Structure 1
Amino acid sequence: MSIKTMNEMIRKHVKAISLSILGILSAAIIPIWQIYFVEQPDVHIEITEIRRINSSDFKVPLSTDELQLLKPYLDEDLFYTFDKNGNRADKINYPEFSIETINAAFNKAKMDIKNITETKSILSKHIATINKYLNPKDKAHLLIEFRVGEIKDWSLRNYIDDDEARYYEKQVLRITRDYADMHFQKGKGAPINTDALNFLLSDVKEDLIEVISENEIRVEKLRDNIQAIDTQITKLKKEQRDIYSFFDVSVVATNNGRASASLRPVALLRVNISKDNYVNLKLDMDDYQDQSNLPEGSTKILHYQSKILHDIPSEDRIMVNTFWGSTGRASVLSLDTKQNIYISNTIAFADNSNQKVMFDKLKESANSL
């Protein structure tokens, strides 16, 4: 076939050939377009909350004479180890307590100061009742009629050792209701060992008198040292916040694209004061295995946590404590498995700051109703 003939055939079928070429090109270009331009993730992230959380691992001993005054207000179990069956075992030589536990004991101590007069009045009434039972001339309070219900009503465990309070109740029950040791006579009730009951109630009375005396001494010491205790606990709280706290950052991640995205477990919290005055904190995603994948058209709430401040360089720690709650502005940068970087909104570096912004917007809308 000559070249002339071929040219004539091409001219006759130029339209069909063009359409074929366009079809081939379209078949090749459209998938490429879909892959690189259409079927792509479109991820947006927004910080909704930054919380500063005190580490529960921070514990301190009662290392000063003032803090030692709080010892009676701490749960006795905190001074012991426990075996695998949950039974109290060895006493701890150098016990340490969380700041929350020490502060709760301090609140109890302050309440004790307020209630000392009422407590003394209650215990004095119990002592007066015991005196009536111990007085053989008091016919309205016969010792033979004393029963365990009355001693239980006194709630002794609120004032003396639990084990001792239980012992007293058990002994009263044994004296007044241990039928096996009683000798019954026809037509008469079983005799009660009133001598034993007399001694027992006398012991209870002595304990309550001792409690009143110890309370007065203890509360007097508390009154003299209450300001020093408050100052020391405030100092410990500051140490915990400045050194033994971490940040929990809540982020809403939305994928508006037509392909899924998988976020890396690591993110960065950038806190800025000015262009050259900033600090970067490494964040780790909670529950990474279940939360990192963002299917197309999905939204997830992600939680990230920083290291405890004790574990970051001291220079960064100083800057974090300086920026927190002041003029610091924070944003989050995250990364997916394809090395795409996503940058969040910027909010104040403070607790619940973004919630306040959202609430203010709602108030503005409410005002227009």
Structure 2
Amino acid sequence: MQRRISRKTVRLLYYPTAFAAGLLGGWVLAFVGGLNPAIVPVISAGIGLLVAFGVPIWQNYYINTPKLAIEISSIKRVLSDSTTIAIHDDAELKVLYGEKRRNYSYFGEPELFGRTGKNSGETIDNLQNLLELAKQRLRDLPAQIEDRKRSVEQLRAVNPTALTRYQVDSWNAPLSPEVEFDPSNLETVASDLIKAYEKRLETAEKSYADLQTNLPIAERRIEIVQQELIRKNSLFTVSASLINSGRTNTAIKVPALLRVLIGEGNYIDIKLSLKDFENKSEIAASGTRIVVFESLEISSLPEEDRALINTYWGQSVRAWLLVEDIHGGIAKSGYIAFAEGLYQKIIYDRLARAAST
């Protein structure tokens, strides 16, 4: 960590320096005047002065100071929560709309559907969740179709004249709208129940065919969209441990810098900001703080820098993190690969080697 000499230290140095200069000047004048002054008292006074003032200065500057070190835990490239995709505007993703409707209607919020504008978009995480729901539905539908076929066959075998209100209510349980019970026209009631269950069967079969055809297309589309958004709208989060091995508390400032070295004299600077500054900036003496820094979306960077980031992210290039504390000291981390998960892999490999021995 780079240190700057504080004003307090400069003031402390001023007085002994002036005293020593005066002492030396007086001795020189006495010597020139022929008084033949002794040098030993001057040397003794100088040594005493050095000890008297030097020790407190040394203690203040080297001992009772923060000593900040940084270790990067991970670098991630993510999309912000504000990055959304409108399902309804993308024909290849419309197959997921049914999963969204079923998911939200379960929570009693069908009014969400049909909206336009910002609220109609879905984040990548939500799209992945909808995709998983659709895959699960695809796995469940064959059993549901067989169950509905059996229900239709059972209804066709029912004697209409023997239908009771209790039986009709039982058959009505999964139906919306329900078939009305009319004791004077039981044959029509039975016929309406059969039609309703045949429609349920037809809906399940159509849904199964739709998912079989369009779900792989939607999955590929999500992958393409995600890569496009990451290239244009992603941001970086850097997790790091700040270790203060000094005897004085310190705090870091909000701005930080991630420098990516991509060649001899060639680099990219990514500006970061400390998240949760109010609670995370201070590091106690002999203490450690886990912090997270976050950049703006890379769309805010010059086009040349965006192209370099997209080219070298995940490649064999190195990056390091720099922060400044409230005393003006600059702390630098060690190098880390400019890639997600590679640092963790290195740690796992070290642990595996240790386990083998």
TM over 0.5: yes
**How far 1:343 moved relative to its partner?**
1.0
Asked if 1:68 corresponds to 2:94, the answer is yes
Shift, 1:53, TM fit: 2.2
SS in 2 for 1:290: helix
Identity %: 24
- Counterpart of 1:274 in structure 2 is 263
| Distance in 1 between residues matched to 2:156 and 2:211, nearest whole Å | 31
Structure 2 counterpart of 1:97: 122
Q: Letter of the aligned partner of 1:92 in structure 2? A: R
Q: Please name the residue that 1:242 is paired with.
A: 231
> Does the 8 Å contact 1:267/1:332 carry over to 2?
yes
Aligned length: 318
What code does the residue aligned with 1:350 have?
A: A
CA spacing shift, 1:332–1:125, aligned 2, 3 Å:
same
Unmatched tracts of structure 2, length 5 or more: 1-29
Question: Paired residue for 1:358?
Answer: 347
Query: Is 1:299–2:303 an aligned residue pair?
Result: no
TM-superposed CA distance for 1:92, in Å, is 0.9
Residues 305-352 of structure 1 deviation map (CA, whole Å, 9 limit, x = unaligned) = 111223322322222122121112121011112321111011111222
Match of 2:10 in 1: none
User: Measured at CA, do residues 214 and 151 of structure 1 come closer, stay the same or move farther in structure 2, by a change above 3 Å?
Assistant: closer
Pick from 129, 146, 169 the counterpart of residue 167 of structure 2. Answer: 146
Asked if structure 2 preserves the Cα contact closer than 8 Å seen for 1:77 and 1:88, the reply is no
- Assess, with a 3 A threshold, how the Cα gap between structure 1 residues 129 and 195 changes in structure 2: closer, same or farther: farther
1:56 aligns with 2:81: yes
Tell me which amino acid in the other structure corresponds to 2:328.
Q
Alignment correspondent of 2:57: 32
> Counterpart amino acid of 1:283?
L
8 Å contact kept, 1:134–1:143: no
- Residue by residue over 1:11-48, the C-alpha shift from the partner in whole angstroms, topping out at 9 and shown as x without a partner, is 8xx87x98777555533332222222332221111111
The offset of 1:70, in angstroms, is 3.1
| Kept after mapping to 1: 8 A contact 2:160/2:186 | no
- Cα pair 2:101 2:110 within 8 Å, conserved: no
Which stretches in structure 1 are left out of the alignment for 5+ residues? 176-192
- In the superposition, relative to structure 1, how do residues 353 and 317 fare at CA in structure 2: closer, same or farther (>3 Å)? same
- Letter in structure 1 aligned against 2:338: F
Cα separation, 1, equivalents of 2:325 and 2:222: 44
Answering whether residue 245 of structure 2 is matched by residue 256 of structure 1, we say yes
Closer, same or farther: CA 297–69 of 1 in aligned 2, 3 Å: closer
- Kindly indicate whether the alpha-carbon contact (under 8 Å) linking 2:252 and 2:326 is maintained by their aligned counterparts in 1: yes
Asked whether the equivalents of residues 52 and 246 of structure 1 are also in contact (C-alpha less than 8 Å), the reply is yes
- What is the SS of the residue equivalent to 2:89? coil
**Conserved in 2, the CA contact under 8 Å of 1:50 and 1:247?**
yes
CA-CA distance at 1:121 after TM superposition: 1.4
Q: Whole-Å Cα distance in 2 between the matches of residues 64 and 89 of structure 1?
A: 18
How far off its partner does 1:303 sit? 1.1
Asked if the contact 1:268–1:282 (Cα under 8 Å) also holds between the matched residues in 2, the reply is: yes
| 1:33-182 pair list within 5 angstroms | 33-61=58-86, 62-75=88-101, 88=111, 91-93=114-116, 95-133=120-158, 135-136=160-161, 142-146=163-167, 148=169, 151-152=172-173, 156=174, 164=176, 168=178
CA deviations 1:238-261 (Å, max 9, x no partner) are 122222322221111111122222
Contact 1:55 1:240 (C-alpha < 8 Å) held by counterparts: no
- 1:130 and 1:352 mapped to 2: Cα distance? 57
Residue deviations 1:106-151 (CA, integer Å, cap 9, x gap): 4444454455443221112222333344532xx6xx4254264565
- Structure 2 counterpart of 1:326: 315
Judge conservation of contact 1:244–1:310 (CA < 8 Å) in 2: yes
Give the deviation of 1:213 after TM superposition: 2.5
Query: How much has 1:98 moved relative to structure 2?
Result: 2.4
Tell me if 1:287 matches 2:287: no
CA shift digits 1:282-305 (9 cap, x unpaired): 111111122222222111111111
How many Å separate the matches in 2 of 1:64 and 1:21? 83
Shift of 1:265: 0.9
Q: CA separation in 2, counterparts of 1:104 and 1:89?
A: 17
- Could you tell which deviates more after superposition, 298-307 or 70-79? 70-79
Moved more, 350-359 or 206-215: 206-215
